[in-house]
Homo-oligomer: A and B are copies of this chain.
Amino acid sequence: MIGYQFMGKAHSHAYRDIPFFFEPKANPILKALCGRNKEAVEEAAEKMGWESVETDWRQLIAREDIDVIDIVTPNHTHAEIAIAAAEAGKHIITEKPLALTVEEAKRMKEAVEKHNVVHMICHNYRFVPAVQYAKQLIDEGKLGRIFHFRANYLQDFIIDPAFPLIWRLKKEVSGSGALGDIGAHSIDLARFLVGEIDEVTAMTQTFIEERPMGEMAGGLKGAVNSDEMGKVTVDDAVAIMARFANGTFGTFEASRFATGNRNKNTFEINGEKGSVRWDMENMNFLDVYFTDDDKGVQGFRRVTCTEEEHPYAGAYWPPGHIIGYEHSFIHLLYEFVEAVVDKRQPSPDFKDGYINQLILDAIEKSAEDKSWQSIPYQTE
């Protein structure tokens, strides 16, 4: 695994837990952790249970005892590493977004396809039991024709003007702001749950345009490390209107300026036979409505998705005993491990990452020139 911050921690923990809770066809072995700072990476490896360390990702990829490369580095490094890993015949899992640009994403997708390696992208929210169950209800036709997909992803960790200019606020490192960081998750959920998006238009805004220079300081915190101010080059908030291929009417909003919302990742889907609603801060619940419930007792049901019927939930605790954020990674990486063993493609894969990137790109373009943009996914 390359990288060992927030996402590195989530992935490492998940690998350890897979064989504890599930019955994977093979147990993942935490061979080597890679980072540029030797001391720091050694400390992290010790803490998180990795057998060895590397300080150069090229060395890691060159190692013969490594089957799988897990990329959890900042966004601008994904492409180079992933392409090299594919060329080395390694199976690859990478954090989202796949890349900074469509062109990079396309090259990554082509590389993994050419070298025939298993590839996956970490849209972990797909793997929350309530979300998987929503998907199942939709696939079974329980909601009928879908009218609306409505998603918000709201955070507030940078509303303070003193919050520093971390890498997530620089376009050249992160690609975009709220859009790529959190909006990309909503877009992935939309594609997973409802289907492909035909066209989009968007509006973006940067509320605070200059910030003191600084760096990440764990999780979503930052530390100012300079008196200088720097320019924020990404969006603080984005709103998107979308038309889906199947006629669904889609609206999205992602913001890091939604005061009071720490990590409010929500969607609501309205169909002719029913609706579902979900909120990551209450991730174990799925609110479900059916139009064919008896008159008089129609209403959203608050379903606690901790029962056998709910994907992955049966592996844990009795009904009503909830799980948390980190479990979404256990499920995702479990699926990846199974796919690697079976040598088949899991979902979401680099193609999903590429289409996601196409959509992000169209969104950015549409926001710039106040236009609608078609998504050329059909031609791929």
- In the assembled complex, which residues on chain B have CB atoms less than 8 Å from the CB atom of A150? 152, 253
A299 contacts the other chain (CB 8 A): yes
Bound CA–CA A309/B294 (angstroms): 10
The A310-360 residues at the B interface (CB cut-off 8 A) are 310, 316-327
- Interface stretch, picked from A13-21, A78-86, A101-109, A185-193, is A13-21
Q: A155-B320, A309-B295 are in contact. Are A147 and B301 (CB under 8 A)?
A: no
Instruction: Look across to chain B and name the residue whose beta carbon is closest to the beta carbon of A240.
Output: B241
A133 contacts the other chain (CB 8 A): yes
A73 contacts the other chain (CB 8 A): no
Bound CA–CA A156/B221 (angstroms): 40
The A248-303 residues at the B interface (CB cut-off 8 A) are 249, 251, 253, 255, 257-264, 268, 270-275, 280-285, 287-291, 293, 295-303
Task: Identify A301's interface contact among B137, B298, B323, B326, CB under 8 A.
Answer: B298
Instruction: Look across to chain B and name the residue whose beta carbon is closest to the beta carbon of A250.
Output: B239
A371 contacts the other chain (CB 8 A): yes
A28 contacts the other chain (CB 8 A): no
Instruction: Decide if A147 touches B259 in the complex (CB within 8 Å).
Output: yes
A74 contacts the other chain (CB 8 A): no
- In the assembled complex, which residues on chain B have CB atoms less than 8 Å from the CB atom of A260? 270, 274-275, 289, 291, 298-300
- In the assembled complex, which residues on chain B have CB atoms less than 8 Å from the CB atom of A324? 284, 316, 321-324, 327
- State the Cβ distance, A103 to closest chain B Cβ, in Å: 27
- In the assembled complex, which residues on chain B have CB atoms less than 8 Å from the CB atom of A321? 263, 324-325
Instruction: Look across to chain B and name the residue whose beta carbon is closest to the beta carbon of A290.
Output: B297
Instruction: Decide if A317 touches B6 in the complex (CB within 8 Å).
Output: yes
Cβ-closest 5 pairs across A and B? A262-B320, A263-B320, A296-B309, A260-B289, A299-B301
Q: A259-B275, A372-B370 are in contact. Are A291 and B159 (CB under 8 A)?
A: yes
Interchain Cβ contacts under 8 Å between A and B, 28 examples: A6-B317, A16-B16, A19-B47, A20-B47, A133-B296, A147-B207, A201-B201, A201-B241, A201-B370, A205-B249, A239-B241, A251-B253, A258-B270, A259-B271, A259-B275, A260-B275, A263-B319, A263-B321, A280-B320, A295-B307, A296-B310, A297-B301, A302-B302, A317-B325, A321-B324, A323-B324, A370-B371, A370-B372
- State the Cβ distance, A220 to closest chain B Cβ, in Å: 4
Instruction: Decide if B319 touches A220 in the complex (CB within 8 Å).
Output: yes
Bound CA–CA A52/B296 (angstroms): 38
Instruction: Decide if B319 touches A262 in the complex (CB within 8 Å).
Output: yes
- In the assembled complex, which residues on chain B have CB atoms less than 8 Å from the CB atom of A298? 260, 301, 303, 307
- In the assembled complex, which residues on chain B have CB atoms less than 8 Å from the CB atom of A370? 201, 371-372
Bound CA–CA A287/B10 (angstroms): 28
- In the assembled complex, which residues on chain B have CB atoms less than 8 Å from the CB atom of A303? 296-299
A230 contacts the other chain (CB 8 A): no
- State the Cβ distance, A198 to closest chain B Cβ, in Å: 12
Instruction: Decide if A148 touches B301 in the complex (CB within 8 Å).
Output: no
- In the assembled complex, which residues on chain B have CB atoms less than 8 Å from the CB atom of A69? none
A306 contacts the other chain (CB 8 A): yes
A66 contacts the other chain (CB 8 A): no
Instruction: Look across to chain B and name the residue whose beta carbon is closest to the beta carbon of A310.
Output: B296
Instruction: Decide if A148 touches B237 in the complex (CB within 8 Å).
Output: yes
Instruction: Decide if A301 touches B293 in the complex (CB within 8 Å).
Output: yes
